[in-house]
Every structure is written in structure tokens, then in C-alpha cells.
Amino acid sequence: MKPRSIFSLLLLAGLVCIVSCSRVQGHGGEENRLSLTGSSTIAPLMTVLAARFEQEHPGVRIDVQSGGSGRGIADARNGVADFGMVSRSLRAEEKDLLAWPIARDGVSMIVNQKNPLANLSREQIRSIYTGKIRNWSHLGWEGGPIVVVHEAEGRATLEVFLDHFGLQNEEVRADVIAGENEHAIKTVANDPRAIGYVSIGTAEEDIRQGVSIRLLALDGVEAAKSKVAEGQYPMLRELNLVALQEPVGLAAEFLAYVRSAAADDLIRAQSFTPLAH
């Protein structure tokens, strides 16, 4: 082989090494960038937390993308994201990941504001979602056929709902399959006959903005962040960031920030319950 050819190969190998090494340092090859993917419940909260963190750390960029807790789990495992956002506790088969709670939330049933009902029992909700009750007249309101809004697989809100009501997904008789929280909220807001379930924090924020939905009490317990904070609301969950290993550098600094008292005001502003410090 000619010396010039050997030199060219060595130069190319060096360039490949430089690119590979830069990728090891951080996602996107830059140490001042972080990426978070996953839960649509957590994404709005992380977006405002990231914006403040960026303001306090010039040059830092944090990318937040939703897609469901299932995506957060997968991306954290595959190293696609620095953190996955998961709005439930990890299951036994996911314990290869590390999880850090950042806040607490509840999952509530929602109906249109035109629906006069204020409370449903656990058994009534089970009967609605399994098709045993198909008309609002069976519950005391002449509202017509019930439109059952259910969440798509891979969504933590779905898993929290199924677990609380002791249901298997194949038992549910859904009329509409919603993706993110806002899809379910929009469906219920546009149809007086509809019922769905979403994050209490997300629903409270939308109600403040004039969206035509109401939160239903569950077995007589009001669906409100105050009840979540007191531990009285029955359908509770943790909001978590997950990763395959202990974060270092910028990732560790950001994690410490979102779990500190400095983040509590933004957590409350998004209608979630901060951690005890």
C-alpha cells in the first residue's frame, strides 16, 4: 500500500474516533445539551422547568418531547434520551432502570360541563368501561348513550386506571382511544355524552383556561390537588424521571434542581404536588 493511502486511512480513522468520542460525552455530541422524552403528563412541567434552568445556565439547551411513558422507558434504556419521563412507578421488569420521583399527581374521571353528575363510584366506573352501563339514564341523567374515552397502550395514565379499577385492557369497551391527555380532554370537552380519565394536574390547568370539562369525585372523594397532597385521593401516582445509570455532570445538576425546593413553585403552578424536602 502506498504511504499516501496509509496516511489517508489513518486520518479517516482519527476522524471517526473524534466523532465517536464526542458522542460518548453527551446526546447530540455536546455536553451542554440534555434530552427528555416520554410522559405527556410530565412533559409540560419539564418544559417550564427546563426553560428556567436554561435561563439560569446560559448556553444550556434542554429538549423535551412527549410520546408516552412507554417511549420514556424505551428511550432511557436505549440511550436515546438522558432521561425518560414516566408518570407511574416502575414495574418489576423495568427495575433495570433507576427512577427519581419529582412530584405526585392523581388520575381523575372527567366529564363535559353539561353533565350534571358530581360523583361516581368505583363499581359504576367499572360498569361503564366494561359496557355493562351504556346510557347515562342508568346513572340518573337523560344524557343519552355514554361515549367511553380510553387511553392508548403505552400510556402510564392507562396503566394507573386499569390497576386502580382491577381491569384488564381487553375488558374495556371503548368508543374513542385517546393518545395524550389533551386528546382525551378535547374529546370530552366537545361531547356532552363523553367520559374519560386524565391527570388531575392537566385537567385543573385546562379548566382554569376555560375548557368545558369537570372533574368527578371518586367514591365521594373530591378530585383535587389538595386531596392528592393530603394523600386522601385514591388514584395516586408518582411522576418520575428514569435513566439507565446515575447521571453525571449537567444531567446530575438538572436532576438535583427539579427535585429541589427551587422547583416547587413551578410544580404547584402546573397543579402537581411537590415532594417533601
Q: pLDDT (tens digit, 0 to 9) for every residue of the chain, 277 residues total?
A: 544 444 444 344 443 333 333 333 344 445 799 999 999 889 999 999 999 999 999 999 999 999 999 999 999 999 999 999 999 999 999 999 999 999 999 999 999 999 999 999 999 999 999 999 999 999 999 999 999 999 999 888 999 999 999 999 999 999 999 988 899 999 999 999 999 999 998 899 899 999 999 999 999 999 988 898 888 999 999 999 999 999 999 999 999 999 999 999 999 988 899 988 7
Looking at residue 154, its pLDDT comes to 85
Q: Which domains does the chain have, with CATH numbers?
A: 3-103+239-274 (3.40.190.10), 105-229 (3.40.190.10)
Closest among 52, 46, 56, 58 to 82, alpha carbons compared = 46
Q: Which three cell numbers stand for residue 35?
A: 434530552
Q: Give me the phi and psi of 59, to 5 degrees please.
A: 95, -15
Closest among 100, 94, 190, 195 to 147, alpha carbons compared = 195
For a pLDDT cut of 90, what percent of the chain falls above it?
A: 77
Looking at residue 103, its pLDDT comes to 95
Q: Which three cell numbers stand for residue 146?
A: 355514554
Looking at residue 229, its pLDDT comes to 86
Looking at residue 28, its pLDDT comes to 42
How far apart are alpha carbons 244 and 84 in whole angstroms? 9
How far apart are alpha carbons 45 and 53 in whole angstroms? 12
Tell me the pLDDT tens digit for each residue of 1-48: 544 444 444 344 443 333 333 333 344 445 799 999 999 889 999 999
Closest among 124, 64, 72 to 97, alpha carbons compared = 72
Tell me the CB-side half-sphere exposure of residue 48, using CA atoms within 13 A. 14
DSSP tag of 262: G
Helices (H), ranges, 114-248: 122-129, 156-165, 181-189, 200-208, 225-229
On the 0-12 / 13-18 / 19+ scale of CB atoms within 10 A, 124 is middle
